[in-house]
Structure 1
């Protein structure tokens, strides 16, 4: 995840923007950015954010 923003709020914004504009799913985002899905979800969960697959965003 070193190629993604490290600040949780900036990471949240970046991931949600990518999910909205460029990726069909969280799996697609992780593949595109070569990111471990569990690590990404854990980092954002530690900041208080959960992934909603139906809405396709963290909140």
Structure 2
């Protein structure tokens, strides 16, 4: 799955990303590598809806 295949809607992207982080990936970097997406793009998209990645919780909050 590439960024083109990830949900376009920021709220859906948030839900998808947090679920993947919770269930399969130890951190955002590993998630991005697995999906071959730019970490900065995901962070900026979710920042646009006031969510930031928390490394200690391994989720966007």
**Band the TM-score falls in, shorter-chain normalisation:** over 0.9
Number of aligned residue pairs: give it. 59
Find out whether 1:35 has 2:37 as its counterpart.
yes
Give the CA RMSD over aligned residues. 0.6
Spell out the pairing of 1:1-59 with structure 2 (5 A cutoff). Answer: 1-59=3-61
Provide runs of 4+ in structure 1 moved above 4 Å: none
For structure 2, the residue ranges without an aligned partner over 5 or more in a row are none
TM-score by length of structure 2 reads 0.92
- The CA deviation at 1:6 is 0.6
